[in-house]
């Protein structure tokens, strides 16, 4: 995970197992951008866990001749011809799912999205797929369906927990060709996120960032830690979190052989880490304390090649770094660029 490395261009998967794509929220752009990948024949070796009627509608919205063929097992996807969407019909979906209006929050779509994720995660845990790529879901639709998780990361963490076992520590990483950011806290209100920050949370994040990078070709990643407060607290003048636990967590990580540095002022550290064509970044990854602290810089650089990677799961999971885009769902204006980047990253990580 060095700043000079980037996901390979769209290519056919070399893994022995296929890659599972979930269709996302049926009322958003997820099904459409998934269909676009098969239309351009850049999702060979992939299949969709979703609903037949919804994906047929998406295939029509993607334009061009695109068949949807039901498969019985994940392995069947490897024999699918070009311009064909292999579909594994998800179980227990609402029978009237295709009647849910695009561009609107609908509990049926939230329930269906969760069922697709659950089935795809089970395939990943059993080793039947090489990776999981999830299309966008809508948090309000999940809540309307009574799903007790705020997003993919928390749901997948729960699904990866064995019965009676301990949840695996997971973290969200947003990445593009210029910047990698790992978050200590994710889908919490800012007030709750501040309460969740402590020595253990920061140290665990540093360990996960280090270990995941080591498994992806960077044995000793250079990790920058962004402070929480303006100017990283100015020695306690603008807040004491850096002194109380962020700095000590960095010191503890360094004692374990992790190349962690900081805490640095969050308004400048992302510029220092950014890799461009004319300048190599000073760091391989930035650890940020809260969701928006870390994601705003990545998304400001553009969402076309941005990818969300869940670190710490026992399988590879990626997704595009945008949402359901209800405002353009069904209009044919959605771009599949970030979804394509997510598939390319999944292939790269699965074959690492």
* Whole-number average pLDDT of the chain: 91
Nearest in space to 309 (alpha carbons), one of 131, 142, 166? 131
Which pLDDT does position 214 carry in this prediction? Answer: 52
pLDDT at 13 over 90: no
Mean pLDDT of 2-12: 38
Give per-residue pLDDT as tens, 189-213. Answer: 999 999 999 999 999 999 999 988 7
Which pLDDT does position 6 carry in this prediction? Answer: 41
pLDDT at 313 over 90: yes
E-assigned strands of the chain?
19-22, 46-50, 67-70, 84-89, 131-134, 171-175, 180-183, 223-226, 260-264, 285-288, 307-311, 317-320
Where do the domains of the chain lie? 1-166+321-352, 177-301
Q: To the nearest 5 percent, what fractions of the chain are helix, strand and coil?
A: 40, 15, 45
pLDDT at 147 over 90: yes
Range with the poorest average pLDDT among 82-86, 94-98, 298-302, 323-327: 298-302
177-301 shares the fold of 1-166+321-352:
yes
Place of tokens 């026992």: 314
Give per-residue pLDDT as tens, 224-237. Answer: 999 999 998 888 88
What is the percentage of the chain residues whose pLDDT exceeds 90? 80
- What superfamily would CATH give domain 177-301? Isopropylmalate Dehydrogenase (3.40.718.10)
Which pLDDT does position 11 carry in this prediction? Answer: 38
pLDDT at 28 over 50: yes
132 in Cβ contact with 121 (< 8 Å): yes
Mean pLDDT of 44-66: 94
Mean pLDDT of 129-149: 96
- Binned at pLDDT 50, 70 and 90, residue 141 comes out as very high
Which pLDDT does position 177 carry in this prediction? Answer: 87
Bridge partners of 49?
22, 88
| Cα 300 from Cα 311, distance rounded (Å) | 22
| Cα 197 from Cα 172, distance rounded (Å) | 15
Token couple for 7: 């996901």
Which pLDDT does position 8 carry in this prediction? Answer: 37
Its CATH class, for the domain covering 1-166+321-352, is alpha beta
Coil, helix or strand at residue 341: helix
| Cα 35 from Cα 159, distance rounded (Å) | 26
């Amino acid at each position: 995970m060095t700043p000079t490395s980037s996901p390979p261009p769209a290519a056919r998967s070399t893994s022995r197992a296929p890659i599972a794509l979930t269709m996302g929220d049926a009322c958003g752009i997820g099904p459409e951008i998934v269909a676009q990948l098969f239309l351009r024949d850049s999702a060979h070796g992939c299949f969709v866990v979703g609903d037949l009627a919804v994906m047929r509608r998406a295939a029509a919205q993607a334009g061009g001749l695109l068949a949807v063929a039901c498969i019985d097992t994940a392995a069947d996807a490897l024999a699918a011809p070009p311009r064909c969407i292999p579909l594994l019909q998800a179980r227990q979906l609402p029978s009237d799912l295709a009647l849910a209006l695009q561009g609107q929050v609908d509990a049926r779509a939230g329930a269906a999205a969760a069922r697709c994720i659950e089935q795809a995660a089970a395939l990943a845990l059993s080793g039947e797929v090489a990776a999981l790529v999830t299309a966008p879901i809508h948090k309000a639709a999940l809540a309307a369906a009574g799903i007790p998780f705020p997003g993919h990361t928390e749901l997948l963490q729960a699904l990866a927990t064995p019965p009676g076992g301990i949840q695996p520590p997971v973290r969200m990483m947003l990445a593009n060709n210029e910047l990698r950011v790992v978050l200590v806290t994710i889908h919490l209100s800012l007030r709750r996120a501040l309460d969740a920050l402590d020595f253990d949370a920061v140290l665990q994040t540093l360990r996960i960032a280090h270990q995941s990078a080591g498994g992806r070709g960077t044995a000793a990643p250079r990790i920058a830690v962004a402070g929480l407060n303006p100017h990283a607290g100015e020695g306690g003048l603008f807040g004491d979190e850096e002194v109380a636990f962020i700095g000590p967590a960095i010191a503890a990580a360094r004692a374990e052989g992790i190349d962690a540095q900081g805490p640095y002022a969050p308004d400048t550290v992302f510029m220092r880490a950014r890799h461009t064509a004319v300048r190599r970044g000073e760091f391989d990854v930035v650890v940020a304390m809260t969701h928006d602290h870390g994601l705003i810089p990545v998304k400001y650089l553009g969402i076309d090649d941005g990818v969300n990677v869940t670190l710490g799961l026992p399988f590879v999971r990626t997704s595009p770094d945008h949402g359901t885009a209800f405002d353009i769902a069904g209009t044919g204006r959605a771009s599949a660029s970030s979804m394509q980047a997510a598939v390319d990253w999944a292939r790269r990580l699965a074959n690492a």
